[in-house]
Amino acid sequence: MAFDTLTTTVDGRIGRLTLDRPAKLNPLSTHCLDELAAAAAWFDDRPDVRVVIVSGAGRAFSAGADLSGFGDAGERSARDGADAGRVMVEAVERMRAVTIASIHGHCIGGGVLLAMACDLRVTAESTNFVIPEVDLGIPLTWGGIPRLVREIGAAATRDLVLSCRPFTAMEAHVRGIANRMVPDDDLDTEVATLAAALAEKSAYTLRVTLDAVDAAAEALVSTDGAWSDADQLATAMHDAESRAVAATYLEARGL
C-alpha cells in the first residue's frame, strides 16, 4: 500500500511499518497520524503477519508533532484534527500482530505515545526522549496520561510531563517506557531476533496473551475517557496564555 509519510513491507510473518520523512526527523502531522491508523488496518487485513516492527527512517524514531503545521487541522474540523492522535494510538494498540517499537535517535512527544502503543519497545542506548507538550501550551492528549500512569506510575508521569525535561534511554528503560535497552549498533539485530522468535510462536497464543494483558492493564487504569482529550486540546489551541507559551517555545527554536 502506498503512503506519503511512511512505508509498509511484509516478509513472511514479519511486517515493517517505517516512518519515512527522515529529513524532518519523521514528524507526526495530522496526515501522518491518519496514515498510521490506515497502515494498522492494512496489516490487520493480513492474518499471516504475526509481528510488525515500527521504526523511523534516518536519524530519529520520531520528532513528535509536526511543529511547522502546529494547530493546523487542514480541511477537517478542529476537533477531528485534535482527535487524530488518539485514533492512531488506539489503532496501533489494537493491531492483531505483536508490535515492536525500534527506537533510536530522538523520540519526542507523540513519538513516545506511538512507541507506547506498541506491545514491546526496544531502545538504542543513545536515544533522547522528551515529552514537551506542556511547554507547547497544550495538555498531553491521545490517551497519553493513563497509558503513562499504568506503565510508569503517577509520580513519574507528573515529573516527565510537567517538567518537559529530556530523559535518557537508561531512564526510559528503568521506568518502563522501554522494555529493553541495547547498544546502538545492536538495535537492528536485537529487534530482528526478537521479531523472528515471536513469529515462530502460535498466532492464537500470542493474540490471547496480548488480549489478557491489555484487559488487565485497562482494568488497572482505563483509557475509555481518552475520547475527550480532543476537547482539551482544542480548548488549549484557543487559550491566550497557552498560545503565548507555545509562541515563546517555537521562537526559541527558530520554528
pLDDT at 70 (0 to 100): 52
Q: Which residues in the chain belong to E strands, given as ranges?
A: 6-11, 14-19, 51-56, 98-103, 106-108, 120-124, 128-130, 167-168, 180-182
pLDDT at 80 (0 to 100): 79
> Which residues are CB-contacts of 247 (< 8 A; sequence separation ≥ 6)?
none
pLDDT at 254 (0 to 100): 77
Q: Which residues are paired to 19 by β-bridges? A: 6, 56
DSSP-derived letter for residue 166 is -
According to DSSP, the β-strands at 128-130 and 106-108 are parallel
Please name the fold of domain 6-184.
Answer: 2-enoyl-CoA Hydratase; Chain A, domain 1 (3.90.226)
pLDDT at 249 (0 to 100): 85
Q: Which residues are paired to 129 by β-bridges? A: 107, 167
Domain boundaries, the chain: 6-184
Cell 516478509, located at residue: 11
Distances, alpha carbon 78 to alpha carbons 37, 64, 71, 242, 245, in Å: 19, 19, 8, 16, 20
pLDDT in tens, 199-211: 999 999 999 999 9
In 3D space, the residue among 149, 112, 153, 117 whose CA is nearest the CA of residue 28 turns out to be: 112
> Which residues are CB-contacts of 144 (< 8 A; sequence separation ≥ 6)?
89, 112, 113, 116, 131, 161
**Gap between the Cα atoms of 134 and 198, Å rounded:** 37
Q: What 3 state SS string does 190-221 have?
A: HHHHHHHHHHCCCHHHHHHHHHHHHHHHHHHC
> Going residue by residue through the chain (255 aa), what tens digit of pLDDT does each one get?
799 999 999 999 999 999 999 999 999 999 999 999 999 999 999 999 999 999 999 999 999 988 665 555 555 666 777 899 999 999 999 999 999 999 999 999 999 999 999 999 999 999 999 999 999 999 999 999 999 999 999 999 999 999 999 999 999 999 999 999 999 999 999 999 999 999 999 999 999 999 999 999 999 999 988 888 889 988 888 899 999 998 998 888 877
pLDDT at 72 (0 to 100): 54
Distances, alpha carbon 159 to alpha carbons 162, 179, 185, in Å: 6, 20, 31
In 3D space, the residue among 42, 133, 147 whose CA is nearest the CA of residue 90 turns out to be: 147
Q: Which residues are paired to 56 by β-bridges? A: 19
**Gap between the Cα atoms of 169 and 107, Å rounded:** 10
Structure pTM?
0.94
pLDDT at 169 (0 to 100): 98
The number of helix segments (H) and strand segments (E) in the chain equals 10, 9
**Gap between the Cα atoms of 202 and 222, Å rounded:** 28
> Which residues are CB-contacts of 200 (< 8 A; sequence separation ≥ 6)?
none
